[in-house]
Amino acid sequence: MNQQPFLRIFTAPATLCAIGFLAAMVAVLQYSLRAYVPGSLDPGGFTLANFADLLKPLYARVFLDTVVVCAMTAVVTLIVGYPLAYALVRVEQPVLRSILLVIVVTPLFLGEVVRTYAWIIVLGNNGFINSLLMSLGIIGKPLQLMFTPFGVVVALVHVTLPVMVIMLAAGLSHIDRDYSRAAESLGAGPIRVFLTVTLPLSLPGVVAGTTTAFAWTFSAFATPQLIGGGRVNMISNLVYQLGFSSFNFPFAATLCVAGLALTALVLGLLQLASRPLQKIEVH
Amino acid sequence: MKPSANVEGEQTAVHFDAVTKRFDDVVALNAVTLGVGRSEFVTLLGPSGCGKTTLLKLAAGFLGPDGGSISIEGKRMNDIPTYQRGIGMMFQNYALFPHMSVAENVAYGLKTRRVPRVERDKRVADALALVKLKGMENRKPRQLSGGQQQRVALARALVINPTVLLLDEPFSALDKSLRTSMQVELREIQRKLGLTTIFVTHDQGEALSMSDRVAVMSEGRIRQLGRPVDVYRSPADPFVASFVGDNNRLRGQLVSMQAKQAIVALGDALVKVSGESLSGLEKSAAVDLFVRPEQFSVVAPEEPCAIKGSVVAQIYQGGHVDLQIECAGERLLVRSPGEQAVLRWPMGAPVGIGIQADRCSAFPAA
Amino acid sequence: MIPRSTYQRVLRLVGLLTVLVIIAFLVLPAAVVTIAAFNDKPILSFPPQTWSWRWFGRALAYEDFRQGFFNGLIVTAWSSTIALCVGGMFAFVIDRYKFPLKSAIEGILISPLVIPHFTVGLGFLILAAQVGLSRGFAVVVICHVILVLPFVLRSVYVSLRNLDQSYEYAAASLGAGPLRVLTTVTLPLLLPGLVSGWLFAAILSFNEFTASLFVTSQRTQTLPVAMYNYVREFADPSMAALSVMYIVGTAALIAFANAFLGLGKVLNIEQSH
């Protein structure tokens, strides 16, 4: 009896895709070990020199900046996202809920470029915030918001907020309301209920959201490129610059490999640190 | 007792021969042998995890056995996929296709058999008439009540004239009054069509009331196979005794043993039981006596009785009263017919308990 | 009404205000862009002195935007459809069967979720050069398929998990072979999951930017890439006008999806009662 109908035909296309993607990643790895031949698109022989170059202060600095920006973005997004996720889960009125949902989810699908452009208009020297503050007479000359780490983090928080809210809401929505009702019936006030029941039970969602926010920020390109304007550089900007300005694809590939290693390290540490939390099982 | 493969004088429709099924390291079925006669209604009864559903799934072909063989109408089924077995099946949640109307659901099995349109329509109409659902053809399953959904599921399984009808706890989702009437109706239809039926349930009342024969299962084995009355009256082992119906377990002592009859001492009283299950036991060996609640009778404490105790709980059941009586640290369940017991044996009252001595079962003490 | 103490009411009010501030932060850029789009002057100023629609016309007429939009449609249609087929089939086998290399293939296909898009883009750029593929639509589509596959895979897998297998058993018991079960029972019941998976993939693909920047050429550039290039070179409100159209279009699509598919269910954030 054929107990597994369709197994082969259904697995084949996915296997092909996996092989294709693996090949692309192997190509990056392979290039990272090749020498850069200035003026040529083709790489030279095998070498470890690219990885040695990573230790130069210039590049080490970019790595450090990237991690700091990612970490700040992830933490701020978590703090801003939690109340919104909580509201999204607890709002019972269907219309209000739908509106809230559309407001939260739409930015997720707007793409990085549109949102970054919007933040340029908000943060620019002639932008919304400066115009507002100046017309109110609070400041005399424009604040420098563009081309600063602050501006980059604000825009990145906006970019990662929807996905954080969705992951937190997913965690929160699967907590049975009866737990908090039980706590209330035992005499706990709203804040105590939140701190002793809801928050601990939502920790798996917190970990998932923070992890994703970190990974997304790491991947961001348009935001640091346009709002950082060369003064806040992340790995993504350096990779693009090396590839398309100087055609140094081998070193761009090296940065990618190092970036992957760094992401893996940070996410691994985050998982490890949150392991005691993961033991909290909802249901 | 070894489960018997013989079916009294009838032809075997479904035969499980030493069927074994493992899930990873867990043995779900351990060399189960069972024959189901043509037109017979056999129930697989047991607690969850006993293997009854696995056995049904093997009959349906949703699973393949790891050992032994399954045959339907004499044909080996081990390598035949479900859709070629010609079975009809009713599921616990009915599994009515939510995207099809009632008529489309019932017609589904006829379409797969390429029954021509005209005949198909007629058979669908007949099947819906049989389950009293005329006029519901175009409804979607979610527009029907639980009982109606079940009738559709039954019509869908019957319309293809299955060789065997497999029922997987089909009544568990219905409330009690509806359940009883559906049970009666299903049994009538099954008799009328002479349909070989295997029924899975964990509800022993359901098993006793509906079946020709009951197979009591536990831990991947059939512990007893027999008519409901035999399973209830003469359980094959302590598991069956305590699983089927309410039962009290009392520790006694073997007094004498003759061919088919043993006498067990329970305190001062002597109880006659069937000797078969105690064969080989030495005199004065410890014995577990199983006494059903209705085999006890409650009497005033000064009257002659087997055990003395006091009433600790009254459970009023309408037609009868269940009393919990504490005797020497143990609680016995005693069933008293009628309603008077509520007043006659109030809480805390000292009572004596008599035993209707010839219908208990006994096994060597565990 | 649920009885509440004054303390609880104050707390609720504080919570409500917090949420309103966060929502303001969330919608601020969109609101500001909308104001900017109607500014008649070609340079940014707040508040605008004179108003006009003209930048909308300019945005719609701008050749790179038009080209990018149609390129985007081509890439999106192909990649999300291919991803739906590949991912749908694979989700089916990972839900049902054990087979060699199952978790390896699954792991590779899920990994683009955590691999930065610039790395994926660079990888396909190099791979295409190595196998001698020109920078045409094929490379862009393949790259997008890989990037949206994890989302399709997850969406279909979740639908399959929620699909009660007894429907398929019932069909088989009624004589339906595997192919018939698949087409008459499994696929119709999975339809909402498949549609939402496709929609999700399409929106992500249409908006994908970083990897596209690496693998597209002047000829195949998608709308986000065209917009990025525009922002780097020009500062007039055409881009703001385009953004407004983008935001309105996306919000409408999301509202539509919410009404017909139940976004809460798709995103798995329905409160369990």
Q: Specify the pLDDT at position B1.
A: 37
In a domain, C165, yes or no: yes
Q: How far is A276 from chain C (nearest CA, A)?
A: 23
CA–CA separation, B265 vs B355, rounded Å?
A: 12
Specify the higher pLDDT residue, A24 or B308.
A24
Q: What percent of chain C has pLDDT over 70?
A: 95
Is C269 an interface residue toward A (CB < 8 Å)? yes
Q: How far is A122 from chain C (nearest CA, A)?
A: 7
- Chain C contacts in chain A segment 26-45 (CB below 8 A): 27-28, 31, 41
The answer on pLDDT for B84 being more than 60 is: yes
The answer on pLDDT for C263 being more than 80 is: no
Closest CA to C30 of A223, A163, A103, A96: A103
Question: Which residues does chain A have within 8 Å of residue B79's beta carbon, measured at their own beta carbons?
Answer: 1
- CATH code assigned to B246-364: 2.40.50.100
The answer on pLDDT for B10 being more than 60 is: no
Domain holding C123: CATH number?
A: 1.10.3720.10
Minimum mean pLDDT range among A87-101, B157-171, C198-212, C222-236: A87-101
Q: Specify the pLDDT at position C270.
A: 61
Q: Specify the pLDDT at position B357.
A: 66
Question: Which residues does chain B have within 8 Å of residue A4's beta carbon, measured at their own beta carbons?
Answer: none
Question: Which residues does chain A have within 8 Å of residue C145's beta carbon, measured at their own beta carbons?
Answer: 17
Q: Specify the pLDDT at position A276.
A: 67
- The CATH architecture one would assign to domain A44-278 is Orthogonal Bundle (1.10)
Query: What range defines the domain where residue C176 resides?
Result: 63-266
Is A219 an interface residue toward C (CB < 8 Å)? yes
Question: Which residues does chain A have within 8 Å of residue C130's beta carbon, measured at their own beta carbons?
Answer: 27
Q: How far is C161 from chain A (nearest CA, A)?
A: 17
Specify the higher pLDDT residue, A33 or C255.
A33
In a domain, C54, yes or no: no
Q: How far is A6 from chain B (nearest CA, A)?
A: 15
The answer to whether the Cβ–Cβ distance between A222 and C25 falls below 8 Å is no
- Chain C contacts in chain A segment 56-85 (CB below 8 A): 80, 83-84
In a domain, C273, yes or no: no
The answer to whether the Cβ–Cβ distance between B64 and A2 falls below 8 Å is no
Say which CATH topology domain B12-238 has. Answer: Rossmann fold (3.40.50)
Which residues lie across from B216 on neighbouring strands?
Answer: B45, B224
Q: Specify the pLDDT at position C184.
A: 95
Minimum mean pLDDT range among B6-20, B191-205, C170-184: B6-20
Minimum mean pLDDT range among B23-37, B150-164, B318-332, C88-102: B318-332
The answer on pLDDT for C51 being more than 70 is: yes
Is C47 an interface residue toward B (CB < 8 Å)? no
Is A4 an interface residue toward B (CB < 8 Å)? no
The answer to whether the Cβ–Cβ distance between B99 and C189 falls below 8 Å is yes
Which residues lie across from B75 on neighbouring strands?
Answer: B72
Average pLDDT over residues B28-48: 95
- The confidence band for B195, taking pLDDT boundaries of 50, 70 and 90, is very high
Specify the higher pLDDT residue, B338 or C44.
B338
> Model pTM greater than 0.90?
no
- The confidence band for B4, taking pLDDT boundaries of 50, 70 and 90, is very low
Q: Specify the pLDDT at position B5.
A: 44
Question: Which residues does chain B have within 8 Å of residue A3's beta carbon, measured at their own beta carbons?
Answer: 64
The chain B residue lying nearest A5, using CA atoms, is: B81
Query: How many structural domains comprise chain C?
Result: 1
- The confidence band for C105, taking pLDDT boundaries of 50, 70 and 90, is very high
Question: Contact at 8 Å (CB) between B17 and B173?
Answer: no
Minimum mean pLDDT range among B131-135, C51-55, C106-110: C51-55
The answer on pLDDT for B321 being more than 60 is: yes
The answer to whether the Cβ–Cβ distance between C164 and B93 falls below 8 Å is yes
By Cβ distance, the residue of C104, C116, C129 closest to A219 is C116
The answer on pLDDT for C210 being more than 90 is: yes
pLDDT digits (tens, 9 = 90+) for B241-281: 999 989 999 888 898 888 788 888 887 788 888 878 887 78
Average pLDDT over residues C138-155: 94
The answer to whether the Cβ–Cβ distance between A173 and C47 falls below 8 Å is no
Q: Specify the pLDDT at position C167.
A: 95
Angstrom CA distances, A80 to A8, A84, A154, A204, A227, stand at 47, 7, 11, 17, 21
CA–CA separation, B276 vs B230, rounded Å?
A: 15
Mean pLDDT by 10 residues, chain A (283 residues): 76 95 95 86 83 88 91 94 91 84 82 89 87 86 87 92 90 83 80 85 88 89 90 89 88 93 86 68 43
The answer on pLDDT for C88 being more than 70 is: yes
Minimum mean pLDDT range among A47-56, B29-38, C179-188: A47-56
Question: In chain A, where are the structural domains located?
Answer: 44-278
Specify the higher pLDDT residue, B200 or A200.
B200
By Cβ distance, the residue of C44, C116, C239 closest to A127 is C44
Question: Contact at 8 Å (CB) between C159 and C194?
Answer: yes
The answer to whether the Cβ–Cβ distance between A174 and C272 falls below 8 Å is yes
Question: Which residues does chain B have within 8 Å of residue C169's beta carbon, measured at their own beta carbons?
Answer: 60, 62, 82, 89, 91, 95
The answer on pLDDT for C273 being more than 80 is: no
For chain C, the chains sharing at least 3 beta-carbon pairs closer than 8 angstroms are A, B
Q: Specify the pLDDT at position A1.
A: 39
- Chain C contacts in chain B segment 63-122 (CB below 8 A): 81-89, 91-93, 95-99, 108-109, 112-113
Q: How far is C88 from chain A (nearest CA, A)?
A: 9
Question: Contact at 8 Å (CB) between C251 and A107?
Answer: no
Is A3 an interface residue toward B (CB < 8 Å)? yes
For chain A, the chains sharing at least 3 beta-carbon pairs closer than 8 angstroms are B, C
- The confidence band for C1, taking pLDDT boundaries of 50, 70 and 90, is low
Closest CA to C68 of C250, C248, C200, C242: C242
